[in-house]
């Protein structure tokens, strides 16, 4: 069949599988997830062999070190994926949650939480997204169509087959989780236009991918374009703690969307703090404003575009500011409304920052790397949204549901 027929067939089968998922009991979904986790552990060698093929192909094609880092799996990461599936299984099922009230007319009005339906997940190099997205969608009663990048195809083929095997063994239709195996670019364009079959699209990857999806989709999209995250070190900061937090936020996993790309430092502590942080960030290329270069003369001067950049690498833009207001103004201009933080012991500065910075996640005396569904207790995340409607910030099973109203009366009519 041609690619159009292929995508329509996958979408139709996902839609059909989503119907019984609406009323599949929590225990059945949890059993399916635990079987998936068990299969992943038993097949760790198989998963890693497939991932090795992806890595070898990626290296040969010239993928960057940051990209390869996102793609790579090892036994610890496979175990982490298995644990994540178990954590999702242990979460309370949001489907069927009811809040109700008796109206003055005598009927009962209920708001009931229900699955969205069919979710299309379009993503790039991280194989763990295959597992997290499938587990979160299944737990929240949704069917999912997974379209990963060609660079992770071998890893995703194995992971998706294990997921489908596990849920099939639990009596749930394997069509509830489907992987788009064909890699024609047209497939993405067709998938995001399956109105009536696909209910929601979530793109997860680089800005170019996400903008292309948004421009072409006729299905609703939840997304974030970039992760230009900031840390502001205030005049009242504990400088030792600040240096530790900056290090973690930049170096721990620089290729993630919640790693900082710009460091803002209050002018009153810049001369003491910047040399210390430069020493701590010895592996990081710093690019600073003119004021920063008077303190750190050996670093590269930052250009305007550096403050808009999502490096996803060991590069950090630095700017000296005079106040929390100036820091907030910088974030408003250059930021992406993803995750931004302040380091300060001053209550007034902290509250002013929290009130002023309009980001999905704001951290106080904490690393931006904490902006994560697993860390937030969501089991995992299907993505981080910087939209303001329906979902914002890390998205877990709750954000993969919507609601319907149920009116229970006894012959009530409107007068």
How many Å is the Cα radius of gyration of the chain?
Answer: 23
Site of tokens 């600040």? 242
Percent of the chain whose pLDDT exceeds 90 = 88
Domains and CATH numbers, the chain: 3-223+387-408 (3.40.605.10), 229-370 (3.40.309.10)
Specify the DSSP class assigned to residue 374. T
pLDDT band of residue 181 (cuts 50, 70, 90) is very high
Task: Please answer whether residues 368 and 263 qualify as being in contact, where contact means their C-beta atoms are separated by less than 8 angstroms.
Answer: no
What's the mean pLDDT when you consider all of the chain?
95
Residues contacting residue 348 through CB under 8 Å, at least 6 positions apart:
none
Task: Please answer whether residues 58 and 202 qualify as being in contact, where contact means their C-beta atoms are separated by less than 8 angstroms.
Answer: no
Average pLDDT over residues 219-248: 96
Here the tokens at position 11 are: 């979408």
Q: Which of 125, 312, 143 is nearest to 204 (CA)?
A: 125
pLDDT in tens, 15-49: 999 999 999 999 999 999 999 999 999 999 999 99
* Number of neighbours of residue 311 by Cβ within 10 angstroms: 21
The DSSP line for 116-178 is --EEEEEE-S-THHHHHHHHHHHHTT-EEEEE--GGGHHHHHHHHHHHHHHHHHTTS-GGGEE
Distance of alpha carbon 411 from the chain centroid? 47
pLDDT in tens, 280-316: 999 999 999 999 999 999 999 999 999 999 999 999 9
Q: Reply yes or no on whether the pLDDT at 66 is more than 80.
A: no
Average pLDDT over residues 179-202: 96
Residues contacting residue 73 through CB under 8 Å, at least 6 positions apart:
47, 48, 51, 127, 128, 155
pLDDT at position 261: 98
């Amino acid at each position: 069949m041609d690619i159009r027929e292929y995508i329509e067939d996958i979408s139709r089968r996902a839609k059909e599988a989503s119907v019984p998922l609406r009323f599949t009991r929590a225990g059945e979904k949890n059993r399916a997830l635990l079987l998936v986790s068990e299969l992943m552990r038993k097949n760790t060698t198989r998963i890693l062999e497939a991932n090795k093929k992806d890595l070898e192909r990626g290296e040969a094609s010239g993928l960057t070190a940051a990209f390869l880092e996102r793609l790579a799996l090892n036994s610890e990461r496979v175990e982490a994926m298995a644990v994540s599936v178990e954590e999702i299984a242990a979460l309370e099922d949001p489907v069927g949650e009811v809040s109700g009230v008796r109206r003055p007319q005598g009927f009962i009005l209920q708001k009931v939480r229900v699955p969205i339906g069919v979710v299309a997940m379009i993503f790039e190099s991280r194989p763990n997204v295959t597992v997290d997205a499938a587990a979160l969608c299944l737990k929240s009663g949704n069917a999912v169509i997974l379209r990963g990048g060609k660079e992770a195809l071998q890893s995703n083929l194995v992971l998706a087959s294990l997921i489908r095997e596990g849920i099939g063994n639990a009596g749930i239709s394997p069509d509830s989780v489907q992987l788009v195996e064909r890699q024609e670019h047209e497939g993405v364009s067709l998938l995001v236009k399956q109105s009536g079959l696909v209910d929601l699209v979530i793109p997860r990857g680089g800005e170019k991918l996400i903008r292309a999806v948004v421009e072409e989709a006729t299905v609703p999209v939840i997304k974030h374009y970039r992760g230009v995250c900031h840390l502001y070190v205030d005049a009242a900061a504990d400088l030792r703690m600040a240096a530790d937090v900056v290090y973690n936020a930049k170096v721990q996993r620089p290729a993630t969307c919640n790693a900082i790309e710009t460091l803002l430092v209050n002018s009153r502590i810049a001369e003491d703090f910047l040399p210390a942080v430069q020493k701590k960030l010895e592996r990081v290329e710093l690019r600073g404003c003119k004021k920063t270069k008077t303190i750190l003369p050996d670093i590269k001067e930052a250009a305007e575009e550096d403050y808009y950049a999502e490096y996803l690498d060991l590069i950090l833009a630095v700017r000296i500011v005079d106040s929390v207001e100036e820091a907030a103004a910088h974030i408003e201009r250059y930021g992406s409304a993803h995750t931004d933080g302040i380091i300060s012991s001053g209550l007034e500065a902290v509250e002013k920052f929290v009130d002023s910075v309009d980001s999905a996640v704001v951290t106080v005396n904490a690393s931006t790397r904490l902006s994560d569904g697993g860390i937030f207790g969501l089991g995992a995340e299907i993505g981080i949204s910087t939209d303001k409607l329906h979902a914002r910030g890390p998205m877990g099973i709750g954000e993969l549901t919507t609601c319907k109203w149920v009116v229970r009366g006894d012959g009530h009519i409107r007068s």
